[in-house]
Structure 1
Amino acid sequence: MGTGGITFNAHVVSDTWHHKHVPSVADDSVLQRDIRELLSRWGGLQMAVKNQWGGHDSLKKSQELAHHLFHLFSQSNVITVEEIENLLHESLLLSFNTEIEDGSIEEVAEQLMILHEEHLRGSH
């Protein structure tokens, strides 16, 4: 602006609006980290990765699953635990040629749903 014009710190205004209305990148990175951490504790998935049931790129496939889950959570506020269970089941079957019937898919889906709900509450 020219001399005599009103100036303000656009960065502060932008940050204030951003925190009130948009999930921050920091919130997103926390959610991404939490998803990866949860999947890293899932014995069935880790066994598939360790034994390379998905081939030589099994680790990459598990990382893609974490990314896909994050993307799903980022795109929609309305997700059912059944959708998450189906995604996990399908991913294990197609990516790792593995079927897990020990109840852990349902457990992991419920824990992921809790992470998603916590992220939504923290973002508003």
Structure 2
Amino acid sequence: MSTPEILLFARGVVALLDLWPALTIAVREQWGGHESADKKTWLASELIDAFESAVVDTPEGPRLDPSTAAEPPLDIDQLADMLTQVMSDEFEAAIEDGSVDPLATDILRLWRDVVAPTQRPAEETVGALERKAAEVSRQGVAATSGGGAHEVDENGEEWESDSDDDEDDGVPQLVPAEEQQPREREEPIVDDDGFTLVQKPRRR
């Protein structure tokens, strides 16, 4: 049961996943095997389906339940757990770049913008996300596995890492789940559209 709001939300979710460097690299490098691209599509559908639970069937057709639509069906912790679990189970990767919570926050913000747009129409918000995703797709995202690899900073610019140090810089940092180590989290940067930007971890 889709509504115009759900269809717009779905477009935004796809764009946000396209803007997630960790997932982009996991799919490109086939961390999830030959079906990595299909797993990304499946993740998008799972996220959309979870929020589609707010749609109710009425004699006039499906619509968002006004009494519950303002409250997202999932909260930030549930979303973050879902994203983390999928990356671990489907791509055998742990995300150490601090991007999971900002992505979950952006999905919730997108939902609220679509359900009850305030400063500007939700169509403009989603359109801006899709343009950003298209730009990032053209630029590409580089992965790092250490040792002089090319990495990408928060501005999408490539830089050369030092070849002999043990620093775990780079966005994103994908490591096997069993090697995941806690790291200090940084405050997210919010762009002019109200969506968070993944930052390059500071050198230690």
State the match for 2:23 in structure 1.
Answer: 45
State the match for 1:20 in structure 2.
Answer: none
Secondary structure of the residue that 1:102 maps to in structure 2?
coil
Secondary structure of the residue that 1:56 maps to in structure 2?
helix
Whether 1:54 and 2:49 are equivalent positions in the alignment is: no
State the match for 1:90 in structure 2.
Answer: 85
Question: How many angstroms apart in 1 are the aligned matches of 2:7 and 2:76?
Answer: 22
TM-score relative to the length of structure 2: 0.46
Residues 1-124 of structure 1 mapped to structure 2, 5 A cutoff:
25-76=3-54, 77-121=72-116
Q: Mark the CA change 1:96 to 1:24 in structure 2 (over 3 Å): closer, same or farther.
A: closer
RMSD: 1.6
Report deviation, 1:108.
0.5
Q: Does the CA-based 8 Å contact 2:5-2:115 persist in structure 1?
A: no
Structure with more relative contact order (C-alpha pairs < 8 Å, separation 6 or more): 1
- Matched letter for residue 61 of structure 1: K
State how many pairs are aligned: 100
Report deviation, 1:117.
1.7
Stretches of structure 2 lacking an aligned partner (at least 5 in a row): 55-71, 118-204
Question: How many angstroms apart in 2 are the aligned matches of 1:52 and 1:24?
Answer: 31
Report deviation, 1:24.
6.1
Question: How many angstroms apart in 1 are the aligned matches of 2:73 and 2:12?
Answer: 19
Question: How many angstroms apart in 2 are the aligned matches of 1:25 and 1:73?
Answer: 12
Question: How many angstroms apart in 2 are the aligned matches of 1:45 and 1:118?
Answer: 24
CA shift digits 1:58-103 (9 cap, x unpaired): 0010011011000111114442100000000001000100100111
Secondary structure of the residue that 1:91 maps to in structure 2?
helix
Question: How many angstroms apart in 2 are the aligned matches of 1:78 and 1:68?
Answer: 13
Q: Which has the larger radius of gyration?
A: 1
Question: How many angstroms apart in 1 are the aligned matches of 2:92 and 2:111?
Answer: 27
Percent sequence identity over matched residues? 28
Identify the structure with the greater strand proportion: 2
Identify the structure with the greater helix proportion: 1
Q: Does the CA-based 8 Å contact 2:9-2:114 persist in structure 1?
A: yes
